[in-house]
A and B are shown apart, each in its own frame.
With several copies, the nearest count.
Chain A
Amino acid sequence: MGWLLEICDITKSFSGVPVLNGVSLSLQAGEIHALVGENGAGKSTLMKVVAGLHQPDAGELRLDGNPTRFRSPHEALLAGVAMIHQELLPFLDLTVAENIFMGIEPVSGPGWIDRPALHRKTVELLDRLGLKIPPDRRMRELRVAEMQTVEILKALAHNARLIIMDEPTSALTDREAGALFAILNDLRQRGASIIYISHKLEEVFRLADRVTILRDGCHVATHPIGGITTEALISLMVGRPLANRPRSAPGRAAPPILSVRNLALGRRFNNVSFDLAPGEVLGIAGLMGAGRSSLLSALYGLDPADSGQISIGGRALKISSPRNALDAGIGLVTEDRKVSGFIPLFGPRQNMTLAALRRWCRFGWIDQAAESAVADEQIRLFGIRASGRDQPVLRLSGGNQQKVVLARSMLAGPGVLLLDEPTRGIDIAAKEEVHRIVSDLARNGTAILLVSSELPELLSLSHRLLVMCEGRITGTLDPRTTTQEEILTLAMPG
């Protein structure tokens, strides 16, 4: 049987730095093909070449055996190739329906948008994923996870033969991800092909027919999913087997450093109370929209709470801006790195030192040498793949961007660290690295509040686990003894 898509010997470099070295890959019709590799391996770049966003320096694409070259995403879409990008690309001030059908709006008469049809088709699509987002809500009012589902619907709306999904579930909880997988299976049944990029290996094993591994811009191997184990996959990605991380030690009994009482903000969360001790990792589980992100940004002063008390080390504080929080020793890694995480044109160096720049200054004058030394050390510590400490973070791969943001929060040296989906989009080796860093920080006395949609991560890192549902804390669990079922029962509304 013929190939739907053949990627032959693609080479691509950015300003002289090679990113892809003769990568080849073939795809059958009706197959889900997983693409895995470390952060910066070149997965997104390869897929952008396929989708017409980048032009390859050398090599060719064959669609149905015919050499093709997409000069723009438009041409790719016309040929039935759609891509969901790793970085969300929402039109924030347009409605959900307009976002989904951008460029392919149903029209009646010349160019006149058929609003009823648009609404109907959007509802149909939303129903397929079991979502209840109003089609005429503006994207700006959605949360990151909802935006990500809208991105997925965009690709579905194009009825594409080949859908490329670049980490579509990085912000989704298991429930939404489950609904997505059902759709993907359905699409496969109907003969569509899917290239699926993910750092969540269990998804890969659950979903894919075959898997291709990229490392340093080179094709390493392609295997049928039945012919490879998780460990083998990891060592192909990383180039070495991963050491097993010891389970974190339980938190010490110490007076709480952070105490929260009856905190409330509008309809986002209310009556939230908990204590956090130095050296403790407190996990928060919940479904999409449970109010976890809102809680963290309130604690950090980005979106201050309406009522309730926050005290640090026994002293009540009013936190109305991130500056207050930082001065009180609270740090935050935000959920949406592109919007509120980094300065796109700053390099890793300038981004990492931004929150605590004072430390490398004398009389307001930056000690560039000291700053660079710190930056290089962090780049090494986090294994950030960048052409230098001043390469604009915008041009780093998604996972490396996340590491930069993490490094910045750590450099501010907070006593309380709030982490909102800290391992979103980072590869398995780096994830292990982040987990190690979190444990180390806790061991050294930092109090950590961890929000994550990955239950295994929460279960293995936390000393205590809160569950939130519809803005309220519905339970406190011991991660060593609890089960996923117990957590889900508390997290489900009703």
Chain B
Amino acid sequence: MSPKPATPKSRTVLRLLERFGLVIVLLIIGTALTLLQPQFLTSANLLNVARQISINGILAVGVTYVLLTGGVDLSLGSIVALTGVVAATFAHPGEWPVLVPIALGILSGACCGALNGLVITRGRIAPFIVTLGMMTLARGLALLLSNGRPVSNLGTGFLAVGGDFLGFPVQILILLAIAGASRLFLSNMRLGRHIFAVGGNEEASRAAGLNVAGIKTFAYTMSGGLAGLAGVMLAARITTGQPNAGVAYELDAIAAAVIGGTSLSGGVGGIGGTLLGALLMGVINNGLDLLNVSSYYQQIIKGIIIIGAVWLDRRQRN
């Protein structure tokens, strides 16, 4: 911060940088990758990246709701597995209309999320513990329902969720729709505003007459429901309901949100950042594969790049 006031124009640029520090980081990484491997900047590859981030993106949008209230959701990965199994069970060809498995998947995810929210708010138990319990529980349910075996032989209607629509992968369209709606909701709807309030100061929110328990439960339900959607999308992408899918997906989702500037202590953040965070993670994964970096080094480099990117971003905002 310089003591002399900046000119209006340079201040606008500074503010843009501040808001979109991650965009700059992304541009830097993107340019570096393009120089090292021109293949990176082809539309086919960029579509790939988009496809690859869509599931993590949806989960990250969902968990952003929870993080904004100051909570956390560790059960996402297991819910992805459970809902994938549920959806796949109803997606065998010719048995049910395609909307049934999709709706059931989303619904079962939303139920898990609502249960999380109710136990957290009624029982006054730390979200970490409750969602950790749900993580184990939902995984067990997924294994039990599928008897430990992948549920395969899915109908083509259902599999279309993992396919393309007018040349665009359906998953990306879903991600964009969900992210857009969530952004509008959080910034323009009353309930969205209340989510920020609860995360910003729970006690003051209660004193302002907000239904804190209801608002939190809503956030967990959204998170669970979107995990259900992600489960459906994953099942369609891998053409099977895998009871052991999605392990540790929650960590990636939370990481995307936090990289994007959402605070783990609540009240700060938003969907735009979360999407950028997911994109950054996707680009790093894709780039390291394209550059053919060996597995061991990939992990080391990935760890360093993520920390470095967040550091650069925060520095720029200062």
- A–B contact at 8 Å CB threshold (below): yes
Residues of chain B contacted by A13 (CB below 8 angstroms) = 1, 3
> What 1/0 mask marks residues of chain A from 324 to 341 whose CB sits below 8 Å from any chain B CB?
011000001010000111
Interchain CB contact (< 8 A) of A343 among B188, B201, B209, B211: B201
- Residues of A within 8 Å of B267, CB to CB, are 91-93, 343-345
Chain A's closest residue to B211 (CB) is: A323
Q: Is the CB of A102 within 8 A of B189?
A: no
Closest chain B residue to A336, Cβ basis: B203
Residue A370 at the chain B interface, CB threshold 8 Å: no
Q: Does B206 contact A (CB under 8 A)?
A: yes
- B209's partner among A94, A307, A326 (CB-CB below 8 A) is A326
What's the minimum C-beta distance from B146 to chain A, rounded to whole angstroms?
Answer: 39
- On whether the beta carbons of B207 and A98 are closer than 8 Å, the reply is no
- The reply to whether B196 and A366 contact each other, CB–CB distance below 8 Å, is no
Known: A93-B267, A105-B193. A354 touches B200 (CB 8 A): no
**CB pair A345 B268 closer than 8 Å:** yes
- A11 contact set on B, CB distance < 8 A: 3
Q: Given the complex of chains A and B, what is the CA–CA distance between A356 and B60 in angstroms? A: 31
Is there contact, CB below 8 Å, between A343 and B205? yes
CB neighbours of A74 from chain B (8 A): 209-211
Instruction: Say whether, besides A74-B210, A111-B191, A343 and B1 are in contact (CB < 8 Å).
Output: no
B13 to chain A minimum Cβ distance, whole angstroms, is 14
Q: Considering the chains assembled together, what is the distance between the CA atoms of A111 and B96 in angstroms?
A: 35
A107 CA to B190 CA in the complex, in Å? 8
Interface size grouping (class) on chain A: 35 or more
**Complex Cα spacing A206 to B176, Å:** 60
Asked, given contacts A89-B201, A91-B196, A105-B190, whether A322 binds B3 with beta carbons under 8 Å apart, the answer is no
Known contacts A90-B201, A345-B200, A346-B200; decide if A53 and B193 are in contact (CB<8 Å): no
Give the docked Cα–Cα distance between A342 and B202 (Å): 10
**CB atoms of B207 and A334 under 8 A apart:** yes
Task: Verify A322–B209 contact, CB threshold 8 A.
Answer: yes
**Nearest opposing residue in chain B for A341, CB measure:** B204
Q: Which residue of A lies closest to B6 (CB)?
A: A16
Q: Are B189 and A365 in contact (CB under 8 A)?
A: yes
Contacts of B172-206 to chain A: CB distance below 8 A: 188-191, 193-194, 196-197, 200-201, 203-206
Provide the residues of chain A in CB contact with B209, threshold 8 Å.
72-74, 76-78, 103, 321-323, 325-326, 355, 412
* Cβ-defined contact, A357 with B193, below 8 A: yes
Q: Does A15 contact B (CB under 8 A)?
A: yes
B211–A366 contact, CB under 8 A? Answer: no
Interface residue B167 (Cβ < 8 Å from any Cβ of A): no
A266 in the interface (beta carbon within 8 A): yes
Asked if residues B207 and A113 are in contact (CB atoms below 8 Å), the reply is no
Q: How far is the CA of A342 from the CA of B204 in the complex (A)?
A: 6
B5 at the interface (CB under 8 A from A): yes
Whether, in the assembled complex, B208 has its beta carbon less than 8 Å from a beta carbon of chain A, the answer is: yes
With an 8 A cutoff between CB atoms, is B11 at the interface?
yes
Per the bound structure, the CA–CA distance linking A115 and B206 in Å amounts to: 23
Whether, in the assembled complex, A302 has its beta carbon less than 8 Å from a beta carbon of chain B, the answer is: yes
Chain B residues positioned under 8 Å from A464 (CB to CB): none
Given contacts A107-B190, A111-B191, A357-B190, contact A92 B201 (CB under 8 A): yes
In the complex the two chains form, is B211's CB within 8 Å of A340's CB? no
In the bound complex, do residue B190 and residue A111 qualify as a contact, i.e. CB atoms below 8 Å apart?
yes
Question: Taking A13-B3, A89-B204, A341-B204 as contacts, is the C-beta distance between A94 and B197 under 8 angstroms?
Answer: yes
Which of A267, A325, A346 lies at the interface centre, i.e. has the most chain B CB atoms within 10 A of its CB?
A346
**B206 contacts across to A, CB distance below 8 A:** 53, 72-73, 302, 321-322, 340
In-complex Cβ contact of B1 among A58, A266, A300 (8 A): A266
- Scan residues 203-260 of chain B and give those whose CB is less than 8 A from a CB of chain A: 203-211
Q: Pick from A91, A107, A332: contact of B201, CB below 8 A.
A: A91
Docked complex Cα distance between A115 and B197 (Å): 17
Once the chains are docked, how many angstroms separate the CA of A85 from the CA of B206? Answer: 12
Known: A344-B200, A345-B200. A154 touches B189 (CB 8 A): no
A306 within 8 A of B: yes
**Known: A16-B6, A103-B209. Is A365-B203 also a contact (CB below 8 A)?**
no
Closest partner residue, chain B, to A84 (CB atom): B207
CA distance A107 to B191 in the complex (A): 11
Shortest Cβ distance from A58 into B: residue? B3
CB distance from A23 to the nearest CB of B (A): 15
Chain B: minimal CB distance from A79 (Å) = 11
- Whether B207 contacts A264 by the Cβ 8 Å rule is no
Which residues, 94 to 147 on A, are CB-close (under 8 Å) to B? 94, 98, 102-103, 105, 107, 111-113, 115
In the complex, which of the residues A111, A354, A364 contacts B208, with contact meaning CB atoms closer than 8 Å? A354
Q: Give the distance in Å from the alpha carbon of A357 to the alpha carbon of B11 in the complex.
A: 33
Cα distance A344–B210 when bound, in Å?
Answer: 16
Contact of A340 among B3, B189, B200, B203 (CB under 8 A): B203
Q: Which of A307, A358, A365 has the most CB of B within 10 A?
A: A365
Does A377 touch B at the CB level, under 8 Å? Answer: no
Contact check, A93 vs B200: say whether CB atoms are below 8 A apart.
yes
Contact between B268 and A83 (Cβ–Cβ < 8 Å)?
no
B318 CB to closest chain A CB (Å) equals: 10
| Interface contact B211-A354, CB-CB below 8 Å | no
Instruction: Say yes or no: A364 contacts B204, CB within 8 Å.
Output: no
B1-34 interface bits toward A, Cβ cutoff 8 Å, 1 = contact, 0 = none: 1010110000100000000000000000000000
Distance (whole angstroms) from the CB of B270 to the closest CB of chain A: 11
Contact of B207 among A93, A307, A341, A358 (CB under 8 A): A341
A366:B197 contact, CB within 8 angstroms: no
Any B CB within 8 A of the CB of A57: yes
A-B contact pairs, 23 of them (CB 8 A): A53-B207, A72-B206, A74-B210, A98-B197, A102-B204, A102-B205, A102-B208, A112-B189, A112-B190, A113-B189, A302-B206, A322-B208, A323-B210, A325-B209, A326-B209, A343-B197, A343-B205, A345-B268, A361-B190, A364-B190, A365-B190, A368-B188, A412-B209
Besides A91-B205, A342-B204, 19 more A-B contacts (Cβ < 8 Å) are: A16-B1, A72-B206, A76-B209, A77-B209, A89-B201, A89-B207, A91-B196, A91-B197, A91-B200, A112-B189, A113-B189, A323-B210, A343-B196, A343-B201, A345-B267, A350-B193, A354-B205, A355-B209, A364-B190
List 4 tightest A-B contacts by C-beta distance, closest first: A89-B204, A74-B209, A343-B200, A57-B3
